[in-house]
Amino acid sequence: MKKRVLIIEDNEQNIYMLTYLLESQDFQVIQARSGVEGIEMAIESKPDFILLDIQLPEMDGYTVAAKIRECEILKQIPIIVVTSYAMTGDKEKALASGADGYIEKPIDPETFIDQMNSFLPSHLTSK
């Protein structure tokens, strides 16, 4: 059975790239384009893990991660922040909000899957 990943991202180019990379590794991709929609999709689809942007419409990714961690049925789902927020303290802020991992944009298509896998339990990786 394919592992399901929810991408919460509002940039169409980033969604396309992430979807392409993940589907090439046999993941099933679910997409949300805002923080509010992302939380709703997470509750509805219960993905195996979440890739989360920080700069989102309606609600930023820090708030999304915190709200997901507050929801009992979503609490254990790994969250990996994929963001262009790369200033001092941004990684720590993402992890403090409930994220399990942090990957800076722009992503490198050659290394992204390995970076992502490094934050996931082995039963969720593409290897």
What CATH number is attached to the domain comprising 78? Answer: 3.40.50.2300
Q: At what angle do helices 35-45 and 61-70 cross, to 10 degrees?
A: 30
- Say whether pLDDT at 114 is over 80: yes
Element (H, E) at 29: strand 28-32
Q: Quick one: pLDDT band at residue 89, thresholds 50, 70, 90?
A: confident
pLDDT of residue 12: 97
Q: Please tell me the total count of domains within the chain.
A: 1
Cα–Cα distances in angstroms (integers) from residue 83 to residues 10, 44, 62, 73, in the given order: 11, 24, 11, 25
Q: Quick one: pLDDT band at residue 127, thresholds 50, 70, 90?
A: low
- Say whether pLDDT at 80 is over 80: yes
- Say whether pLDDT at 16 is over 90: yes
Mean pLDDT over residues 40-53, rounded? 97
pLDDT of residue 117: 95
pLDDT of residue 119: 94
Whole-prediction pTM value? 0.96
Interatomic CA distance for residues 83 and 17, integer angstroms? 14
Mean pLDDT over residues 48-70, rounded? 96
Q: Where are the alpha helices (DSSP H) in 27-118?
A: 35-45, 61-70, 90-96, 112-117
Q: Where are the alpha helices (DSSP H) in the chain?
A: 12-24, 35-45, 61-70, 90-96, 112-117
Q: Find the domain containing 48 and state its range.
A: 4-124
Interatomic CA distance for residues 43 and 104, integer angstroms? 26
Interatomic CA distance for residues 41 and 37, integer angstroms? 6
Q: Are 2 and 44 in contact (CB under 8 A)?
A: no
